[in-house]
Amino acid sequence: MKKRPRRPEAPHVPEALLMKSFRRNATGIVLFETVWGLGVPFVLFLSVVPAYLTALGTSKTLLGFVMSLWTILAPLQLLSGHYFAGPRRLRAAMTLFLAAVGLRLAYDVLAVFVPGMWTPGALVAGFVLAMIAYVGLLVIAQAIQMGVLTDNIPKKRRGWIFGLRTLGLGVGGIVTGLAASWVLHHWASPFNYRVSFLVGDSIWFAACFALLLIRDTAAPARQGRQKGFLRSVRGKFAVLVANPNYRIFLFSHLLNAIATALATFIVPFAKERLGVADGSLALLSIIFLGTGATLGLAIGRVADRFGYRLVGFIQSVLLLAFFMIAVSARSFAAVCVAYGLYSLVSQTLSFVLVNMSVELCPGLGPTDLAALGGTLVLPLVAVVSPLSGTVIDLTGSYQSVFFIGATVSVIALLGFGLLVREPRTGRLYQVRQIPMR
């Protein structure tokens, strides 16, 4: 009987060795995020994308589908741990980043400089296809990148580095925020959005080369690839599902992810119900980045000192506050306050998922854990945005969706507050076999 090949363990590198390249890696990580941030106000997925689709006159169902692409395509992350886990994983991540941004940049160039080749329907179809390719490649790249960053940063400094990343991202975005607002004011809709995407994607393409500065000290040695992709994935899933602490955490995290997906409808709500102008919507990008810049370090400090369970609890509280404001919002100022709360949660979801998973399941690498966790939350989150968009199309009511989000947030709050446990407390759930008499 043949023995199954042993699954390679996650790399364990002495902290002293990681510290030798820590400054260089921190510089490369923060530089990448800062330059990336320069482009964010022009192309922010959570505000510019839904605003552009709304300007094109697409249905809320299609809008919900596009806004849930990150969840729908999450299973592609599983490829990262199986095919890109070797010593050249950082170069693979950079190549995928360039391809993802480059494909959407091609759409931008053609839409701006060759407008005669497009019909209204082709503009929508082209953009949706470009978004599918962009998100599909980026989810693989980001899973690899998350593994590289987590492996190469000492455990007690991961929250701090997260804070620096959000600070760099925020500062970069704030610097170009006024320029993005000018672009959206200067040209008529929807052409202004195409120019905005062209500028932002060009900056993002340049940002990818900052990854060359990172030294992947913890890169795993070259190994023979395990035979059977599906068998390998099934084995990793079995490890996670067998862990009761992980199951309880993932359920609570799933609820926060669902509530965050529902919260994305604040942008079309502001545009359609409150009549907010396109130029004013650019302020949401600045709020998104400013929130991370000002509060990211604080969240990282909380995670390093008190653990990721508390961060998940804070996320639930912020989401509940968001929906309470959204339900009664009558002005753009209220939308901005709510969007600030939402922004902090959306920027910390993957941070909590990966790092809490690493603590609960140290035998699996962060790349695998990011991919597996994202895939496990897929079935429910993937249908939330399209179904919510359909509800809005049929009823015309955004408030009903916001009320559902508030309910989900309360359940998540109770889960993180009462049920979730983590290793640093020494109080984990144990599965014990009860002897039968």
The tens place of each residue's pLDDT in the chain, 437 residues long, gives: 344 444 444 456 667 777 888 889 889 999 999 999 999 889 988 778 988 998 898 888 888 888 878 878 888 888 887 777 778 888 999 999 999 999 999 999 999 999 889 998 999 999 999 999 999 999 899 888 888 888 888 877 888 888 888 888 888 888 888 898 899 888 988 999 999 999 999 999 999 999 999 988 877 766 555 567 778 888 888 888 888 888 899 999 999 999 998 998 888 888 888 888 776 776 787 788 788 888 888 888 888 888 889 999 999 999 999 999 999 888 999 999 999 999 999 888 888 888 888 888 887 777 788 778 877 777 777 778 778 888 888 888 888 989 999 999 999 999 999 888 888 776 776 666 556 55
CA distance 66 to 49: 9
Name the residue among 401, 421, 149 with its Cα closest to residue 263. 401
- Estimate to the nearest angstrom the gap between the alpha carbon of 248 and the chain centroid: 21
Phi first, then psi, for residue 154 (nearest 5°) are -55, 145
The tokens describing 83, both together, are 């095919």
- Estimate to the nearest angstrom the gap between the alpha carbon of 200 and the chain centroid: 18
pTM of the model: 0.72
Superfamily of domain 15-217+228-425: MFS general substrate transporter like domains (1.20.1250.20)
CB 365 within 8 A of CB 239: no
- Give the Cβ contact number of residue 107 at 10 Å: 21
Domain ranges of the chain: 15-217+228-425
The CA-based angle 404-303-245, given to 5 degrees, is 65
pLDDT one-digit tens code per residue, 153-186: 887 788 888 888 888 888 888 888 889 889 988 8
